[in-house]
Structure 1
Amino acid sequence: MPIRNKVTLLDIVDNPLIRIPVFLVFILIGPLFLPGKVAADTPEGLEGFSPFPPAQSAGEFFFREEDQGMVCLNNEISQDEDTVISSMEQQRSEYVILASYSQNVLARSSIERQIALYTTRRRKTFAKWLERSGRYLPLIRDILKEEGLPEDLTFLPLIESGYNTAARSHARAVGPWQFISATAKRYGLKINYWVDERRDPVKSTRAAARYLSSLYDQFDSWPLALAAYNAGEGRVRRAIRRSRTDDYWKIARSHYYLKRETRNYVSKFIAAGTIASDPEAYGFNDIDYHRPISFEAVTINHPASLSFIARCAATSLKVIRGLNPELKRWCTPPNLRTYTVRIPKGMGEVFRRCFENASARDRMPRIPYVIRQGDTISEIAERYGVPQKEVYALNKGISPRRLRPGSMIYLPPVNAKRGRVISRPNRSRSVPYVVQAGDTLYDIAGKYRVSRRKLYALNSGVDPRRLRPGELIYLPYRD
């Protein structure tokens, strides 16, 4: 049964027809049943009650906040406060945030509007989000458990990104948790030309867990913490100060303190989580959930291209990119000696043998280029359609002011603009090759399985009897 249909003590007390009789009963017979300090409390104390989520408890327990902590109001329990708190934490429902809204009429109406939106106008989009959630929900849930956070926060990426690791907002927030750059770096995520760890489902979830924990420590309220996650801590503090209340739902009722997105944010989260936790109850009966992500992490001690990693893991480049969405380029960062990559589960031993037995050229293919008179790094990069950053990364220590004609540098094997092997400046379908000692055109044609006629045609100005080591020739490009 959906949480929104559960009847609690507060629902009864809120009924105006029986509120007065209930209060009189508590005044007259309350001391007979309530132990110690709580038994002497007046009915006004009921305003602090909240229903304990019933999903994991054997009976209905109700708690009230006291100066010393949470005090149990069930006279069958005779534990001290610390024991009660510990027991509550062990038995609490998995979805404590989702359940809490049922106590608040303001919250309930706002959340039900969002539920109606997700089940009607945005139904098709929400169904896609649910399908994609199957890939990441188990992973995120386990991490949040380890970090000691409520499990219903697992559904927060549902409204942030639809569990899309490549999601990017108009505010330049990136990844499943939609971190902006400054916040991501504050919580240890790396963002540079080669990687963007906001896209990494593991690292970004760890960072989000630390951030959410910090926000809860600041505001001592999950609605306020979630609002701050959306709008920033400063805006929420100002809203509290100006509204003179720390009740998120009262703040959100006014148009003066928070932007519309933040006023609706917590309602969207609870609505989305409520549906996702029981989709059949809301008519989502045919969801084709993606298979949960499964991988094995291996550490490599040399930079490598993603295509080589895929080959060693006996899988496709698409699979490797899907398991390592933080990698933005064609290879692992060349400036890092070691890097941990994810490969399909069970392929670790095969991958290690392949990687260790491969040559440096196989692991990190590079295209040699011989400097000509008048060349500059910027002109070479522009000519071949590759970023200057990659040229510098592949040629450590190179000085752009000291390029000597005849010296050799390396270019990335992929044209950044076209996503293909780089070609000659005249755009003929060919790739450069630097002649090695002992090479002949005949041997080169046989080694690379190319037609000698095509090889000679591409290098018509080259005397095959006078090939010099370091000289640049071109080979036909094959798809």
Structure 2
Amino acid sequence: MLDRATAIAHGVSGNPVNIESIIHFPADTAFLSTSIGHPSLSAQNLTFKRRLDSLEKSVPLNYNEYVQSYIDIYLSRGEQMGKMLGLSKYYFPIFEKALKEAGLPDEIKFVTVIESALNPHAVSRSGAVGPWQFMYTTAKGYGLVMDNYVDERKDPVKASYAAAHYFVDAYKRIGDWLLTIAAFNCGTGAVTRAIEKSGGIADFWKVRSFLPRETQNYVPAFIATVYAMNYYRSHGIQSKAADFNVLTDVIEVNRHVSIASIAKAADFDLKELLLLNPSYKKQIINGSIQSPKSLVIPGVNNNAFASLYDVLNGGTNTNASVIAASMKEAFAELPKTNPVYHRVLPGQTLTSIANKYGAEVQDLKVWNRLKTSTLVPGQNIRVSAASKPYAEPNESSSMSYVVKVGDTLSGIADKFSGMTVSKIKALNGLSKSVISPGMKLIISQL
């Protein structure tokens, strides 16, 4: 999303992810092909049109030869469609909640099928990450955190609220839902320029030929996805159950603790726990009293939930004490690793190396004190941080707030009892009230 120049640096998706093991298409998008011809329609295709008309709510679901081309492709991939139908039982309710709270059409959730095939670990060639395929800069601008411990672009909940915020902003600027969806692929700048070139009418099918080739196919693919995910039974496609528990609970964690130790102590399947918590880079939850973190767990009974909550948040429950002892023992068994280094090969870039090791380009620059993105073959660069041992939360740490798009100092001050603009400026050494998205502000010194 965002115009192609901006999409790489600021866009949500830039070039969407290519997951060839899931959908064998040549484009850099999980569920998109750029090699669509111009098939003709037949009388039997009117069935597809009637069905799309029945699904249409807020977003127009126009039917034409381009949409039919994608319907044909998706229906021929029954096995892959079945997998995504199963995953949607878990992910779609999360997406729907964020979209509903933002006042957005429910249909927008289907964008994630095209972008990532519902894979929270999806990474595109251009570095877009997560189910919504956010680029780093846009993610920062919409309040997502990427640091040594977490990449919230992979968090289905937080990334969905950020995506919803983006769609609200894009629709305000464009005023048409199909073109807003197109903007998620190529950017609002590219879309507004295409509208101007086409004569100023905000209609995707009139603007289509002025958009990038991939975006020309993106919207037909979206409409076809809506069809396939709703009428799959009519074409003999069966939903495949997800390989993890889609019934879950969420616990807030106010200390540093490894996911492996939680799995061992609470007798959870570690693989399942990691699937449910994809944003934690080091498999460590870096919670604190000032900034608790969420842990998604398979649904458990009330007693087990209470015991686990106590141990993760310093309770004194007897059962919790038993789990706590087991957790410390499990954590002690985890190896302490040193930083990993990589020797640069000809043709490799910071982006390709970051994708290879699941790191961020910005992390690589910080770890290696790089001022530019230029690399030299044979150069050794650090591609991971050393793991840190279990630690109790630091009571003297400060409370911070990450600035989001549209935030002002006065608005932030209103969020915290007893805080004022002057106090925030003093704590952060600000001479002016100018702030930018992604900036981390100290709110109080505890």
Task: Return the TM-score normalized by structure 1.
Answer: 0.54
- Three-state SS of the structure 2 residue aligned to 1:101 is coil
* Higher relative contact order (CA closer than 8 Å, sequence separation 6+): 2
One-letter code aligned to 2:58: V
1:249 is matched with which residue?
A: 205
**Quick check: 1:165–1:176 contact (8 Å CA) kept in 2?**
yes
- Three-state SS of the structure 2 residue aligned to 1:299 is strand
Instruction: Tell me how far apart the structure 1 counterparts of residues 81 and 328 of structure 2 sit (CA, whole Å).
Output: 46
**Quick check: 2:256–2:390 contact (8 Å CA) kept in 1?**
no
**Quick check: 1:305–1:332 contact (8 Å CA) kept in 2?**
yes
- Alpha-carbon distance, 1:330 to partner: 3.0
Q: Does 1:116 align with 2:72?
A: yes
One-letter code aligned to 1:208: A
- Alpha-carbon distance, 1:2 to partner: 6.3
Q: Percent identity between the aligned chains?
A: 31
Instruction: Tell me how far apart the structure 1 counterparts of residues 391 and 236 of structure 2 sit (CA, whole Å).
Output: 58
- Alpha-carbon distance, 1:270 to partner: 0.5
> Following superposition of structure 1 onto structure 2, how do residues 425-436 of structure 1 map, counting pairs within 5 Å?
none
> Following superposition of structure 1 onto structure 2, how do residues 434-445 of structure 1 map, counting pairs within 5 Å?
none
Q: Relative to structure 1, is the Cα distance of residues 368 and 332 closer, same or farther in structure 2, using a 3 angstrom cutoff?
A: closer
Instruction: Tell me how far apart the structure 1 counterparts of residues 277 and 133 of structure 2 sit (CA, whole Å).
Output: 17
**Quick check: 1:313–1:350 contact (8 Å CA) kept in 2?**
no
- Alpha-carbon distance, 1:316 to partner: 1.8
1:350 is matched with which residue?
A: 307
- Alpha-carbon distance, 1:249 to partner: 0.8
One-letter code aligned to 2:205: W
Cα offsets for 1:322-342 (capped at 9, x unmatched): 111101113123788632212
**Quick check: 1:2–1:278 contact (8 Å CA) kept in 2?**
no
Instruction: Tell me how far apart the structure 1 counterparts of residues 69 and 384 of structure 2 sit (CA, whole Å).
Output: 51
Instruction: Tell me how far apart the structure 2 counterparts of residues 168 and 126 of structure 1 sit (CA, whole Å).
Output: 20
**Quick check: 1:194–1:327 contact (8 Å CA) kept in 2?**
yes
- Three-state SS of the structure 2 residue aligned to 1:171 is coil
Instruction: Tell me how far apart the structure 1 counterparts of residues 287 and 387 of structure 2 sit (CA, whole Å).
Output: 11
2:20 is matched with which residue?
A: none
**Quick check: 1:174–1:180 contact (8 Å CA) kept in 2?**
yes
Q: Does 1:282 align with 2:231?
A: no
Cα offsets for 1:295-323 (capped at 9, x unmatched): 22222222001112223433121122111
Q: Relative to structure 1, is the Cα distance of residues 2 and 277 closer, same or farther in structure 2, using a 3 angstrom cutoff?
A: farther
Q: Does 1:390 align with 2:386?
A: yes
Q: Does 1:4 align with 2:52?
A: no
One-letter code aligned to 1:101: L
Unaligned runs of 5+ in 1: 8-52, 56-92, 370-377, 379-385, 397-479
- Alpha-carbon distance, 1:233 to partner: 1.3
**Quick check: 1:200–1:325 contact (8 Å CA) kept in 2?**
yes
One-letter code aligned to 1:116: D
Q: Does 1:320 align with 2:273?
A: yes
Instruction: Tell me how far apart the structure 1 counterparts of residues 245 and 187 of structure 2 sit (CA, whole Å).
Output: 32
- Alpha-carbon distance, 1:234 to partner: 1.2
Which one is further off, 310-319 or 330-339?
330-339
Q: Does 1:189 align with 2:144?
A: yes
**Quick check: 2:255–2:292 contact (8 Å CA) kept in 1?**
yes
Q: Relative to structure 1, is the Cα distance of residues 292 and 354 closer, same or farther in structure 2, using a 3 angstrom cutoff?
A: closer
**Quick check: 2:253–2:287 contact (8 Å CA) kept in 1?**
no
**Quick check: 2:255–2:391 contact (8 Å CA) kept in 1?**
no
Q: Relative to structure 1, is the Cα distance of residues 278 and 171 closer, same or farther in structure 2, using a 3 angstrom cutoff?
A: same
**Quick check: 1:303–1:364 contact (8 Å CA) kept in 2?**
no
- Three-state SS of the structure 1 residue aligned to 2:72 is helix
Q: Relative to structure 1, is the Cα distance of residues 248 and 201 closer, same or farther in structure 2, using a 3 angstrom cutoff?
A: same
Q: Relative to structure 1, is the Cα distance of residues 190 and 248 closer, same or farther in structure 2, using a 3 angstrom cutoff?
A: same
2:217 is matched with which residue?
A: 264
Task: Give the structure with higher Rg (CA).
Answer: 1
- Alpha-carbon distance, 1:236 to partner: 1.1
Instruction: Tell me how far apart the structure 2 counterparts of residues 151 and 2 of structure 1 sit (CA, whole Å).
Output: 23
Q: Relative to structure 1, is the Cα distance of residues 139 and 395 closer, same or farther in structure 2, using a 3 angstrom cutoff?
A: closer
Q: Relative to structure 1, is the Cα distance of residues 307 and 281 closer, same or farther in structure 2, using a 3 angstrom cutoff?
A: same
Q: Relative to structure 1, is the Cα distance of residues 340 and 195 closer, same or farther in structure 2, using a 3 angstrom cutoff?
A: same
Q: Which residue, out of 159, 162, 176, partners 1:207? A: 162
- Three-state SS of the structure 2 residue aligned to 1:225 is helix
Q: Does 1:310 align with 2:270?
A: no
Q: Relative to structure 1, is the Cα distance of residues 188 and 117 closer, same or farther in structure 2, using a 3 angstrom cutoff?
A: same
2:293 is matched with which residue?
A: 339
Instruction: Tell me how far apart the structure 2 counterparts of residues 312 and 157 of structure 1 sit (CA, whole Å).
Output: 34
Q: CA RMSD in A?
A: 3.2
Q: Give the aligned length.
A: 287
**Quick check: 2:171–2:180 contact (8 Å CA) kept in 1?**
yes
Instruction: Tell me how far apart the structure 2 counterparts of residues 171 and 368 of structure 1 sit (CA, whole Å).
Output: 32
Task: Return the TM-score normalized by structure 2.
Answer: 0.57
**Quick check: 2:261–2:328 contact (8 Å CA) kept in 1?**
no
One-letter code aligned to 1:316: D
